[in-house]
Amino acid sequence: TDAGSDSGDTGSAAEETISIGFSQVGAESGWRAANTKSIQDTLTQENGFDLSFSDAQQKQENQIQALRSYIQQGVDVLAFSPVVETGWDAVLEEAKAADIPVILTDRAVDSDDDSLYESFIGSDFVLEGETAGEWAVEQYDGEGYQVVELQGTTGAAPAIDRKAGFETAIEGSDLEIIDSQTGNFTRTEGKQVMEGFLQKYDDIDLVYAHNDDMGLGAIEAIEAAGMVPGEDIKIITVDAVKDGMQALADGKINYIVECNPLLGPDLADVAKKVIAGEAVEKRIVVKDKAFDQEAAVEALPSREY
């Protein structure tokens, strides 16, 4: 008989496969695609995971439904990226009652009971906004710049925090945010909102977009209006995904603050520790860089996403 078929002895106890249910926000942006790829490429069978993955099309009710179905399935671990900060306590209580640990990735929830999740793995969005604002002040203070802001999804942690960080950083400068509206993190809506701003104002100097995709939509609107993005109207965005970095290298965007989407490895590590009963950090802050046009030309060839 071959070695593997005797009395069920499998030699060293192979690590048990961890069943994990993941509810993803949607597929709204280049960042989200890179984030999904990182999770699906890392939480594989060969890495010891049985991943159930769902896309909520940016709707909270779809995320809650997915989480409830994973609880029904009796998965070992739940993980999700909450599309907005509020409204999660009920389903998180249900997970706790079912004794299923929860890991948050990318975005935060506003629950003040942090026993409802084991860890939150994501960037510091306030710092991202501050980094964008500080660069804008460094470059443009003293010229009376009029700024329009393309906000991310209303109620989402990155939208709330990137707005707050930017506003704090420009305090005391003469940069003024003359309008601010959500483009829901998508290129299409970013373009539509920018078209509206261009009809409403004839003296916009700077666009601050909470992600590259809305910034790329703004570029389309600015060019359609016969102006030169990156020159007639400066643009600062957040994410640093490939399309954004290409536009930065091409001079159509002036500065990008990175938001690293490659959260799969941290999620896998935390999930394994949680199942093994090891302590995990409640907050894992993902490190981000920032790029001007010169740095983008340098970095582009080796960018992973």
Between 146 and 181, name the residue whose CB sits nearer to ligand GZL.
Answer: 181
SS3 53: strand
Q: Is 189 in the site for ligand GZL (CB under 6 A)?
A: no
Q: Is 258 in the site for ligand GZL (CB under 6 A)?
A: no
Number of residues that bind ligand GZL (CB under 6 A): 15
Output the CA–CA distances (angstroms, integers) from residue 191 to 82, 148, 194, 218, in the order listed: 25, 13, 5, 5
User: Exposed (0-12), middle (13-18) or buried (19+): which is 180, by Cβ within 10 Å?
Assistant: middle
Positions 63 through 92 that interact with ligand GZL (CB under 6 A): none
Q: Is 259 in the site for ligand GZL (CB under 6 A)?
A: yes
Q: Is 28 in the site for ligand GZL (CB under 6 A)?
A: yes
Binding mask 213-242 for ligand GZL (x = CB under 6 A): x------------------------xx---
Between 29 and 254, name the residue whose CB sits nearer to ligand GZL.
Answer: 29
- Closest approach, Cβ 80 to ligand GZL, in A, equals 12
Stretches 14-22, 25-33, 71-79, 275-283: which one binds ligand GZL (CB under 6 A)? 25-33
Q: Is 29 in the site for ligand GZL (CB under 6 A)?
A: yes
- Closest approach, Cβ 286 to ligand GZL, in A, equals 8
Q: How far apart are CA 245 and CA 231, in angstroms?
A: 17
Q: Which amino acid is at 125?
A: F
- Closest approach, Cβ 56 to ligand GZL, in A, equals 12
Phi, psi of 119 (to 5 degrees): -160, 150
Stretches 24-32, 45-53, 70-78, 216-224: which one binds ligand GZL (CB under 6 A)? 24-32
CA angle 164, 167, 172 (to 5 degrees): 145
Between 17 and 57, name the residue whose CB sits nearer to ligand GZL.
Answer: 57
If one counts every other C-beta atom within 10 angstroms of the C-beta of residue 88, the result is 23
57-65, long-range: CB within 8 Å, 24+ apart, which pairs? 57/26, 57/27, 58/25, 58/26, 58/28, 58/83, 58/153, 58/184, 59/26, 59/83, 60/84, 60/87, 62/23, 63/23, 63/25, 64/88, 64/90, 64/91
Q: How far apart are CA 299 and CA 293, in angstroms?
A: 10
Binding mask 122-161 for ligand GZL (x = CB under 6 A): xx----------------------------------x---
Q: How far apart are CA 155 and CA 165, in angstroms?
A: 15
Catalog residues that contact ligand GZL under the rule CB under 6 A.
Answer: 28-29, 31-32, 106-107, 122-123, 158, 185, 211, 213, 238-239, 259
